[in-house]
A and B are shown apart, each in its own frame.
Chain A
């Protein structure tokens, strides 16, 4: 029973390039959450998706960032025209349902470095 799988684990991009981060939720989980962790800080919520739908994107930067969770395949967090300030660890979590009485399980993260 594999956990939440994120790839790549490490990603290096030059300023102006695009970064694509992938997240495969746990089997049976249809809810996906993305978080960003800047160095020496806590995790910040970015976006919550359910299959083919964005439910809550209140934590997403207004520009350059987008997320999707297609019917088939992993969830993708896409960052266009990356800048140095995008360097961070990006974590994905999944849960089997929504609601207050539901724990989420996290992947090991993708560490993005923008050079």
Chain B
């Protein structure tokens, strides 16, 4: 059973600062990694995916992957109050990739303080 671990938080970050969210995973064979954002009362929505070691940037978001350490992180630059949400890290349950189902961490609750 693949496991994904996240600090539940809450993580409180002042507006304009960098928010850093971390995730570790148990299966060394995992090849793809996903970050979902979930606002209170809403469904999870995909914000980033990463497949290779290193950094991947998309606007204010940067995903970082270190397969040797089984560690993936999400950085949010210039944090805004609208970034306040729960961020879920996920890995594929099977070898076929995300469309075969994802195992999610319990999420980190991020609060951006104005």
Q: Are A and B genuine complex partners?
A: no
Which A residues are within 8 Å of any B CB, using their own CB? none
Which B residues are within 8 Å of any A CB, using their own CB? none
